[in-house]
Structure 1
Amino acid sequence: MPKDSNGHLVAGRVSPTRFVPRQIVRPEYVGKPGPSRFTGSDIYGAEAVGRIRESGRIAAEAIAVVGASIRAGITTDSLDAIGHDYMVANGSYPSTLGYRGFPKSLCSSVNEVICHGIPDDTVLEDGDIVNIDITAYKNG
């Protein structure tokens, strides 16, 4: 990752927010400063568990696709596009997109970035340590 003359990380440019088709169900927090307080039950019925499993399956597959794409020379923004396109193609909403204003569809943390890094035009280099976080939201 690029560093300034003092050795501090320099953030790259963040591209515009990616499009999600209207027919894909969005979490209630999209377009708000944050999520509403949860007032439901911590015990889920069979239908809700099925939706959670489906979302988890899509997220696991998306992270596998993104992981297979990690290589020197690719940008974290390109990895975001790959994950975004996979989730949308599978009818799910990228859960990080719009959560408390987060502008991207996955989190990418490179080297000393601890967590929730925002994908940008930073080019990965050979030897970089890359962490990707992906969550998917499908049908509530």
Structure 2
Amino acid sequence: MPQGDKTKYTAKQKRKAEHIEQQYQNEGLSAEQAQARAWATVNKQSGGGDKAGGSGRKTSCSAKATARSDSAKCGAKSREGHDRMSKASLESQTKESLLKQARTQDIKGRSSMSKAELIVALQHHAKG
């Protein structure tokens, strides 16, 4: 497409450029300057002329859903065999996360505990 050729633009892009150009002319810019700015705006917003594939969506919704599902399965598989209440696992969590776990397990005195005390309490609760 030679520079300045507008044949690859959609009707919507052309209407948008005309509207923007008119606004620039109303502000006092020359017709040439207004047209250049209008097409620059359209290019910035839509990435240029009409793209192959229609809507411009690169990944279909079903492909994204499949990717999310595969990612979740991969994450679950990587956690298999790991004790979520192990000391190493608990130490890698934030205090806020540990407090949330302690709240779900109804551990008494959790709000005044340090991170180390929360880890011990959660381990003790898991064993007993």
- Of structures 1 and 2, the one with the larger relative CO (CA 8 A, separation 6+) is 1
Larger Rg computed on CA atoms: 2
Above 0.5 in TM-score?
Answer: no
TM bin, normalised by shorter chain, reads under 0.3
Larger fraction in strand: 1
Of Structure 1 and Structure 2, which has the larger fraction of its residues in helix?
2
